[in-house]
Amino acid sequence: MVRTPPRTQPARTRIEDLRRGELIAAAHRVFMQHGLGGMTTKRICEEAGMSPGILSYYFKGKDDVLFAMVRMNNRLLVEDVLVRLNQSATRWDRLLAVIEGNFPAAVYERNVATAWLSVVAASPGNPRYARLQSLFYARMRSNLASAFAGILPPVRFAGMARTITTLVDGFWLQKSAGEPVSRDEAVTLIVTTVAALLTPDERAALQSR
């Protein structure tokens, strides 16, 4: 008798998710083109073809949209790496997958780098971002561990992981600064450096099945 089938829920949710998705996508485009500072609510709604007030209806505020956007981008990157990891036979392939996963094709470009940098720079004042950041590093370390497990002792692995993550971050920063570095150059340089840091035995172990 008290049964109240929420038939309205699905419909309402569908349009709500749709609008939220559109706004996030619009925010992404504005972010890429104008940077963090130029990402205004008015511009986002305009880009989405909606009225300025709509943002408050679907989000708590501007920061909420921004966070949702960062979260979504992160999810896409993570999924990409996971797919590659599952397709990798050798540890070396896994290593390559993790490294290349940080430079997605057609994404390693100046605007994106600057946008991402802006978020990092804004992190210290925003606990949610800070948390997202450290999760990012932790996940990358974990992925790298799946390649080096049983080959490098813990201390050396820590150093190796630090070197790789630092190089990745550095390449993104340089991209933002306008340095002419291609995706391939970045990946190649990192791989070369990793190889140089390994002993011949370790290299062999990494490349075997």
Q: Could you say which of a second copy, DNA, none residue 95 binds, taking C-beta under 5 to 8 angstroms by partner kind?
A: none
Nearer to DNA among residue 54 and residue 107 (C-beta): 54
3-state secondary structure of 152: coil
What's the closest the beta carbon of residue 19 comes to a second copy, in angstroms?
29
Nearer to DNA among residue 56 and residue 166 (C-beta): 56
Cα 74 to Cα 135: distance, rounded to the nearest angstrom: 10
Q: Could you say which of DNA, a second copy, none residue 16 binds, taking C-beta under 5 to 8 angstroms by partner kind?
A: DNA
Diameter of the chain by CA atoms? 74
What's the closest the beta carbon of residue 9 comes to DNA, in angstroms?
8
Cα 178 to Cα 110: distance, rounded to the nearest angstrom: 7
Question: Would you say 45 and 55 are in contact if contact means Cβ atoms under 8 Å apart?
Answer: yes
Per DSSP, the chain holds a count of helices (H) and strands (E) of 10, 0
Which x/- pattern, by CB under 8 A, does the window 146-165 give for a second copy?
Answer: -------------x--xx-x
Exposure on the CB side of residue 65, measured as CA atoms within 13 A = 30
Q: Could you say which of a second copy, DNA, none residue 172 binds, taking C-beta under 5 to 8 angstroms by partner kind?
A: a second copy
Q: Which structure tokens are listed for 63?
A: 């920061």
What's the closest the beta carbon of residue 98 comes to a second copy, in angstroms?
16
Cα 101 to Cα 80: distance, rounded to the nearest angstrom: 7
Cα 148 to Cα 158: distance, rounded to the nearest angstrom: 10
What's the closest the beta carbon of residue 178 comes to DNA, in angstroms?
24
Q: Provide the binding-site residues for DNA, judged by CB under 7 A.
A: 7-8, 11-12, 15-16, 19, 38-42, 49-57, 61-63
User: Which residue ranges make up the site for a second copy (CB under 8 A)?
Assistant: 35-37, 110-111, 114, 117-118, 120-125, 130, 133-134, 137, 159, 162-163, 165-174, 176-179, 181, 185, 189, 192-193, 196-197
